[in-house]
Amino acid sequence: MILTVDNIITAEELTQLTETLSKGKFIDGQTTAGWHAKLVKHNSQLDTTSPETKTLQNLVIKALERNLLFKLAIQPKHIHSLRFSRYQQDMNYGSHTDNALMGGKQFFRSDVSFTLFLSSPESYEGGELVIEKPEAKLYYKLNPGSIIFYPSTFLHQVAEVKTGTRFVVVGWIQSLIRDTSKREILFDIDTVRRSIFAKEGKSTEFDLLAKTHANLLRQWAE
């Protein structure tokens, strides 16, 4: 399931992110790429040793954690490996798949990838996130403060930036439910039961769906 959410951060948080990043120390993005991704990764990233990095990471994580749609659809267990990326003219990230395991001393799975867009689409040309599904390539260039979540199993790329600067936050999530199709089933059931509750209250139909959702979650969660 591919999910986009508008305004997942507040205007104040967006301003804090963009103003801090505009003054930040950036290093070659290849330092955090896998051995094969280094061949196609051409961007820069905020130095993880910078004092502002942890503050910005916590800001984004807290914004995700307070969003109900994110919690229902993704079933997050760990949000990890956040990176603040900058793409300037002629920079791109060629076709690649994300590492299955990430982290330092403690490894986390990458079940779901996300890109939080910080720059106005009109401020740069090119730079689309391209998700390569078997049937077609999907292009995304979202408004600042909007985010896209997608399965980490997909090949994807960032198109070349022709003019301007593209700032984004990228990160990964280890879900309680590692299988994409099972996460979608749980999300669909939860959506329907919440709709029934809003219309009818705690009905027999709601109780049956709530039981089914709980039992599937109990069976599938890791």
The CA angle 163-160-153, to the nearest 5 degrees, is 140
Residue 66: helix, strand or coil by DSSP? coil
Closest CA to 46 of 28, 64, 62: 28
Q: What span, in angstroms and rounded, lies between the C-alpha atoms of 19 and 59?
A: 14
Q: What span, in angstroms and rounded, lies between the C-alpha atoms of 112 and 57?
A: 17
- Known binding residue 96? Answer is yes
Q: What span, in angstroms and rounded, lies between the C-alpha atoms of 121 and 1?
A: 24
Query: 125 with 162: CB under 8 angstroms?
Result: yes
- Known binding residue 80? Answer is no
Q: How many residues does the chain have?
A: 222
What residue numbers does the annotated binding site for 2-oxoglutarate cover?
166
Binding-site annotation, residues: 96, 98, 156, 166
Binding-site members for Fe cation are: 96, 98, 156
